[in-house]
Amino acid sequence: MGDWLRLHGNRCMSRIDFYFDLWSPYAYLASDRLAEMAERHGCTVNYCPIDLIRAKLSAGNTGPPNLAIPPKIRYLMTDLKRWCARYGLPFGGVPKSKDTKRINIGALLAQDRGMARDYVRAAYEATWGQGGDPNSDELLTTLAAKLDWDAEEFLGYVGSPAAEVRYDTIFEEAVKRGVFGVPIMLVGDEMWWGNDRLDFLEQFLEAQG
């Protein structure tokens, strides 16, 4: 599996790096199913929040966003409703802000506390599940309370320079590994992009035994 495997050894076989942005509805769709899949195969999920727009630009994707193309956004809403119905997930419409920097950074604190899966699930429920504003102090405070965290400590962390540096470092590593969008799942050098590619990831995990 290339240089990454030689550097890190066999541990890549039990770790799935999940690149996501809480602005992405397709990462919303992928997140719970991915966590369940990892559990079935004895893998861990390494939650890697990144800025989706920045990732696209770094990869040379300078086209208009989906929300700027009316026919595409109409189809997108229908598609998301279909997928959410299939997965039994709530769908509250487009979140009220595109600014997901702070809520993304919160996933790093959750990772440190061994609560990344719970955090990402709750954050997606509050945003794409309920249509909330991912950058509002009110939503972030409510999210902290749901996880039994101190709200002031949480807000302090997501706005801290140290956390921002950590967030930027994850992004830089993602670009080096060829990440161009979300959701992207990586096991070593093997990549899958999109909620609809999870079946291929599962086939890969099954083949590894």
The answer to whether residue 160 is catalytic is no
Residues 21 and 51: beta-carbon distance below 8 Å: yes
Determine whether 73 is exposed, middle or buried from the number of CB atoms within 10 Å of its CB (0-12, 13-18, 19+): middle
Label residue 136 by pLDDT band (50, 70, 90): very high
CA torsion sign for 171, 174, 178, 180 is negative
User: 152-185 burial string, b = 16+ CB within 10 Å, else e?
Assistant: eebbebbeeeebeeebeebbeebeebebbbbbbb
> Residue 135: which CATH number?
3.40.30.10
Spatial neighbors of 155 by CB under 8 A, at least 6 apart, are: 137, 140, 141, 144
pLDDT in tens, 148-198: 999 999 999 999 999 999 999 999 999 999 999 999 999 999 999 999 999
| Full residue range of the structural domain in which residue 198 is found | 3-208
pLDDT-wise least confident of 48-62, 74-88, 134-148, 151-165: 48-62
* pTM summary value: 0.89
pLDDT in tens, 78-109: 999 999 999 999 999 999 999 999 999 999 99
Distance separating alpha carbons of residues 136 and 191, to the nearest angstrom: 33
Mean of the per-residue pLDDT values of the chain? 90
DSSP 197: G
pLDDT in tens, 101-124: 999 999 999 999 999 999 999 999
Of residues 14, 24, 97, 160, which has the active-site annotation?
24
% of the chain beyond a pLDDT of 70: 89
Instruction: Give the number of domains in the chain.
Output: 1
Residues 198 and 34: beta-carbon distance below 8 Å: yes
pLDDT at 67 over 70: no
DSSP per residue, 176-196: HTT--SSSEEEETTEEEESGG
Tell me which residue of 136, 56, 54 sits closest to 96, measured CA to CA: 136
Distance separating alpha carbons of residues 202 and 46, to the nearest angstrom: 16
174's tokens: 């993602």
% of the chain beyond a pLDDT of 90: 81
Mean pLDDT, residues 31-60: 92
Task: Provide the angle, in degrees to the nearest 10, between the axes of the packed helices 101-112 and 151-158.
Answer: 110
